Amino acid sequence: MKELFLILVGSVLVNNFVLARFLGICPFLGVSKKLKTACGMGLAVIFVMGLSSVVTDVIYDTILLPHDLLFLKTVVFILVIASLVQLVELVLQKLSPGLHQALGIYLPLITTNCAILGVALINIIKNYNFIKSLVFGIGAGVGFTIALIIMAGIRERLELADIPGPLKGIAITLIVAGLLSMAFMGFSGLVKL
Amino acid sequence: MKTIILSIIFLGGLGLIFGLILAYFSRKFAVKRDERVEEVLKVLPGSNCGVCGQAGCSAFAEAVVKGEVPPDGCIAGGNSVALKINSILGLKAESQQKEGRKAVLLCNGGSKVKDRFTYSGINDCKAANLILGGQKECIYGCLGMVSCVEACPFGAIRMGEDGLPIIDTRICTGCGKCVDVCPKGLIILIPRSKDTVVRCKSEDKGAVTAKICKNGCIACKKCETVCKVGAITVVNSLARIDYAKCTNCGECAKVCPKGVIEYGH
């Protein structure tokens, strides 16, 4: 139980996927303009990450490992992630067309979001079992969402701020991302895994 | 060999399973799309210029079908597209014949105006304009980099040999994309029926303009005198046409000693 908690804290704060591992930067910069879309994107990523880390873990343990097909892991993982993203897209389109429109191209782009493939691969590298994979996947998704929401909140404020001309737009966003990342370095001593 | 067969079976099987799951969900979560959206999309120009204020042609099509924007909202498509959309939506064609607009360039200098310094930065008007207002001696004139050419979604602008962009008014839809990218504000939209353009934007005193540009407006006011309807006035050393008054007679172009005023193409 203690270990699960450590994995959760570790993936949310200490090794935050966006701000410490620098994975999934594309949606981090792309969908962080509005708080509402950021929340939606975060939830979609949590869902895809959690589910994909479990499914990939099962496939890895039951099929790839016993049959010595380890070289297939990247292809299979991407297949799993792509299918899950499609599923999320179908469901969102039906249940929340507004959110679907707001996420736009970034929703199908979760497929190529390296953070999600990263979760699946790190699960294998760290030899996590089913439960640990699930916790790690959800933790990584929550970490991603936290980073996205913090960023969106700051950017909403920045819209109103008086920023020097050359720094307007993406430049100030990148500076903010850097500062956030440094702030998250403060967590680095919290958990040792 | 065993590995190859195994991996084929495995990957194929996995793909099949996921495919089936997705197929089931796409049935279950099918979203009914209005067929008229597709039809409207077909008659739109399809350049996704975004001048209508929507994210692109498909967003515009959806908004039109929902009735959020008027059928004549597509500026690039003009009246013909508005009529087609009206017939698709079964609306009565409101005969509000909006007059189309076209883009014209307000500079006649180009390579005839000397450079003040050698500019070696990136090939973009906005970037060049940041350095002392560009490399040209005339700080009002066209910098001759291809920003407007690249901005045009319809390929109506090309670069002429004299270092000035040439706008093909037959292709131009009056969308105004080029207007936004020109840092000097040299491109304006004028009514399609008007052919008279003062191709200069220099507000320098006449003598200064004459020194640096052969084709610049020297504010001699000949055009102001000859215009019968008072559509052309010289303000701040530059002749300006009020297109609401202009009758497109072309008299001003005839008297202009510098050939700044262009009449017809």
Contacts of A90 in chain B (CB under 8 A): 22, 25-26, 29
- Structural domain count, chain B: 3
Q: How far is B30 from chain A (nearest CA, A)?
A: 7
B154, part of any domain: yes
A94 contact B CB<8A:
yes
Whether residues B163 and B105 fall in one domain: yes
A193, part of any domain: no
Q: Which amino acid makes up residue A82?
A: A
* Summary mean pLDDT of chain B: 85
pLDDT digits (tens, 9 = 90+) for A135-152: 999 999 999 999 999 999
A86, part of any domain: yes
Whether residues B157 and B104 fall in one domain: yes
B12, part of any domain: no
Instruction: For residue A55, give every residue at least 6 positions away whose Cβ sits within 8 Å of its Cβ, in sequence order, or none.
Output: A80, A84
Distance CA A98, CA A121 (A): 33
A1, part of any domain: no
- The proportion of chain A whose per-residue pLDDT surpasses 70, expressed as a percent, equals 99
CB pairs under 8 A between A and B: 42
Give 3-state DSSP helix, strand, coil % of chain B, rounded to 5: 35, 10, 50
Q: How far is CA A147 from CA A65, A152, B28, B142, in A?
A: 34, 9, 34, 45
Contact A94 B14 (CB under 8 A): no
Domain with A160 in it = 10-187
Distance CA A105, CA A26 (A): 11
Chosen domain end from B145, B176, B193:
B193
Contact A72 B11 (CB under 8 A): yes
Whether residues B166 and B208 fall in one domain: no
Extract the tokens encoding B180: 């936004």
pLDDT digits (tens, 9 = 90+) for A165-177: 888 888 898 999 9
User: Which pLDDT score is estimated for A166?
Assistant: 85
* Summary mean pLDDT of chain A: 86
Backbone angles phi, psi at B189, to 5 degrees: -100, 130
Chosen domain end from B89, B123, B158:
B89
The residue-averaged pLDDT of B193-218 equals 88
Whether residues B189 and B200 fall in one domain: no
Among A72, A83, A87, beta carbon nearest to B7: A72
Among B18, B30, B31, beta carbon nearest to A83: B18
A84, part of any domain: yes
Instruction: For residue B131, give every residue at least 6 positions away whose Cβ sits within 8 Å of its Cβ, in sequence order, or none.
Output: B119, B121
The residue-averaged pLDDT of B21-46 equals 83
pLDDT digits (tens, 9 = 90+) for B247-257: 888 888 889 98
Distance CA B233, CA B240 (A): 5
Q: How far is A148 from chain B (nearest CA, A)?
A: 23
Contact B14 A59 (CB under 8 A): yes
| Closest CA in chain A for residue B19 | A83
Residue B8, burial from CB neighbour count under 10 angstroms (0-12, 13-18, 19+)? exposed
Q: Would the CA dihedral through B10, B12, B18, B20 be positive or negative?
A: negative
A3, part of any domain: no
B13, part of any domain: no
- Classify residue A96 as left (phi > 0), alpha (psi -120 to 50) or beta: beta
Contact A76 B22 (CB under 8 A): no
Among A68, A83, A86, beta carbon nearest to B3: A68
The residue-averaged pLDDT of A124-140 equals 90
Look at residue B94 and tell me whether its pLDDT is greater than 70.
no
> What's the distance, CA A144 to chain centroid?
4
Q: Check if the beta carbon of residue A137 is closer than 8 Å to that of residue A118.
A: no
Q: How far is CA B241 from CA A173, B175, B194, B210, in A?
A: 44, 21, 11, 21
Model confidence at B79, pLDDT cuts 50, 70, 90, reads confident
| B205: CATH | 3.30.70.20
Contacts of B21 in chain A (CB under 8 A): 83, 87
Among B6, B22, B30, beta carbon nearest to A86: B22
User: Which pLDDT score is estimated for B97?
Assistant: 55
User: Which pLDDT score is estimated for A165?
Assistant: 83
Distance CA B186, CA B196 (A): 15
Look at residue B33 and tell me whether its pLDDT is greater than 80.
no
Q: Check if the beta carbon of residue B162 is closer than 8 Å to that of residue B112.
A: yes
Distance CA A50, CA B22 (A): 18
The residue-averaged pLDDT of B211-237 equals 89
Backbone angles phi, psi at B256, to 5 degrees: -65, 120
| B41: CATH | 1.10.15.40
Q: How far is CA B42 from CA A74, A76, A123, B81, B173, in A?
A: 40, 38, 47, 10, 18
DSSP letters for chain A: -HHHHHHHHIIIIIT-TTTTS---HHHHHHS-SSHHHHHHHHHHHHHHHHHHHHHHHHHIIIIITTTT-GGGHHHHHHHHHHHHHHHHHHHHHHH-HHHHHHHGGGTGGGGG-HHHHHHHHHHHHTT--HHHHHHHHHHHHHHHHHHHHHHHHHHHHHHHS---GGGTTHHHHHHHHHHHHHHHGGGTTT---
Contact residues, A window 55-74, toward B, CB-based 8 Å cutoff: 59, 63, 67-69, 72
Q: Would the CA dihedral through B230, B235, B240, B245 be positive or negative?
A: negative
- Structural domain count, chain A: 1
Look at residue B110 and tell me whether its pLDDT is greater than 90.
no
Whether residues B135 and B184 fall in one domain: yes
Distance CA A14, CA A190 (A): 7
Contact B31 A93 (CB under 8 A): yes
Q: How far is A87 from chain B (nearest CA, A)?
A: 6
The residue-averaged pLDDT of B11-33 equals 86
The residue-averaged pLDDT of A64-70 equals 83
Contact A63 B10 (CB under 8 A): yes
Contact A90 B22 (CB under 8 A): yes
Between these two residues, A113 and B183, which has the higher pLDDT value?
B183
Whether residues B205 and B186 fall in one domain: no
Tallying the residues shown for chain B, one arrives at 265
Domain with B216 in it = 195-265
Whether residues B179 and B257 fall in one domain: no
Whether residues B85 and B129 fall in one domain: no
Whether residues B160 and B201 fall in one domain: no
Contacts of B15 in chain A (CB under 8 A): 79
Model confidence at B176, pLDDT cuts 50, 70, 90, reads confident
Contact A76 B14 (CB under 8 A): yes
Look at residue B93 and tell me whether its pLDDT is greater than 70.
no
| Closest of B75, B78, B69, B84 to residue B97, by C-alpha | B78
Query: To which residue do tokens 């599923």 refer?
Result: A87
Model confidence at A97, pLDDT cuts 50, 70, 90, reads confident
Distance CA B139, CA B101 (A): 27
Distance CA B265, CA B196 (A): 9
| DSSP code at position B169 | T
Q: Which amino acid makes up residue B205?
A: K
The residue-averaged pLDDT of B60-66 equals 84
